Amino acid sequence: MIGEGEFGKVYKGTLRNGIKVAVKRRRSGRAQDFSEFQTEILVLSKFRHRHLVSLIGYCDEGSEMILVYEFMEKGSLRDHLYYINESSGSLLSWNRRHEICIGVAKGLHYLHTGSDGGIIHRDVKSTNILLDEDYVAKVGDFGVSRSCDLDQTHVSTDVAGSLVYLDPKYFRHLQLTQKSDVYSFGVVLLEVLCARPAINNSLPRDQINLAEWGMSWQMKGQLEKIIDPKLVGRINPNSLKKFGETAEKCLEGYGADRPTMHEVLRQLEYALQLQQTATYREPHEDITIDDASGVLPFPLFQRLPCQSSITSEESTNSSEVFSRLKIDDDAK
């Protein structure tokens, strides 16, 4: 076993063909479990990208709900930010953190602009950002995701996701948009920069909420005073300024004032250029966006039976696999 949460337990395993996998076994008892199980499969059957965790197969027999994913060797982003060594901060370099953020932005942009009007993740947070053996970031956990037509201003829905990462407008008015993911990603950007949890109740009152605390320093133009001690003296001031401005825009109170994920991606790439070159360029210069390069071909998904061995020959095409699911109107 390598993890456990509200959904149940996660195990590390190896298929007969040698592929390492993560096996998520849903804990029974929650009414929404089956809906989330279906949603996860449906989303990952439509979307495949270098920066999204890949689904290898699933099992739906009797009371068993099991999802099998590619194994992410380095675990979650949160683990690397402040659980490895809380006294000294993260071991990730600034360039690596920056590249991780860019990877997540590419994955979310792909989700938002994909087929059928796109997908809103609804639960963007550092525990749902996983790292492979090369520290390539991949977004995971799509159980509460919702489809959204880009022509619509919002989708009315019950609140889902982690409270501290929630878009305030979504929380108050139940109006979900792609800009809700942008807000959550803004919180993640501050986590990456400051290497501390989004909420820490052991801190003084004005420091408990990272988004509020970070933006108070950003507005004073002194964000460098609260960054991870490991990063002090290692970030080009112009790069830090652009990174802070990007987080600030993501955390605007009204969704209309926030950038799209494509715009966030452009700004993060520009901030990384400033870090690497230490010379000033206009925001539109020398920025290349190649989101299509991250799109991966769809694999042959496997429906994994509970009581039989898994072999590489037991795969079927995705249309055969997903036609087995009984999808109600709400799940669609």
pLDDT tens digits, residue range 41-98?
A: 988 888 889 999 999 999 988 888 999 999 999 999 998 997 655 444 567 999 999 9
Cα separation, 163 vs 171, in Å, equals 8
Cα separation, 319 vs 321, in Å, equals 5
Q: Please check whether residues 109 and 134 belong to one and the same domain.
A: yes
Closest CA to 251 of 282, 291, 223, 211: 211
Q: Around Cβ 87, how many Cβ atoms within 10 Å?
A: 5
Q: Does the residue 19 lie in any domain?
A: yes
Residues of the chain with pLDDT under 50: 86-88, 150-161, 279-292, 307-332
Cα separation, 248 vs 189, in Å, equals 10
The conformation of residue 254, written as its DSSP 8-state character, comes to S
Closest CA to 89 of 199, 209, 196: 196
Closest CA to 185 of 99, 297, 260, 274: 260
Which domain does 32 fall in, by range? 3-71+300-322
Reduce the DSSP state of residue 288 to 3 states and report it.
coil
Q: Does the residue 42 lie in any domain?
A: yes
- What pLDDT is stored for residue 173 in this prediction? 62
Backbone angle region of 14, left / alpha / beta, with phi > 0 → left and psi within -120 to 50 → alpha = beta
Q: Around Cβ 54, how many Cβ atoms within 10 Å?
A: 17
User: Which H or E element spans position 245?
Assistant: helix 237-250
In this structure, which amino acid lies at residue 300? L
Cα separation, 242 vs 239, in Å, equals 5
- What pLDDT is stored for residue 271 in this prediction? 97
Q: Does the residue 109 lie in any domain?
A: yes
Q: How many domains does the chain have?
A: 2
Provide the token pair at 98: 């920056």
Reduce the DSSP state of residue 75 to 3 states and report it.
strand
Residue 194: HSE in the Cβ half-sphere, 13 Å Cα cutoff: 28
Query: Residue 42 sits in a domain of what CATH number?
Result: 3.30.200.20
Cα separation, 95 vs 23, in Å, equals 31
- What pLDDT is stored for residue 189 in this prediction? 98
Query: Residue 81 sits in a domain of what CATH number?
Result: 1.10.510.10
Q: Please list the residues that pair with 119 across neighbouring strands.
A: 147
Q: Please check whether residues 91 and 141 belong to one and the same domain.
A: yes
Which positions are annotated as active-site residues?
Answer: 123
Q: Does the residue 330 lie in any domain?
A: no
Q: Please check whether residues 137 and 264 belong to one and the same domain.
A: yes
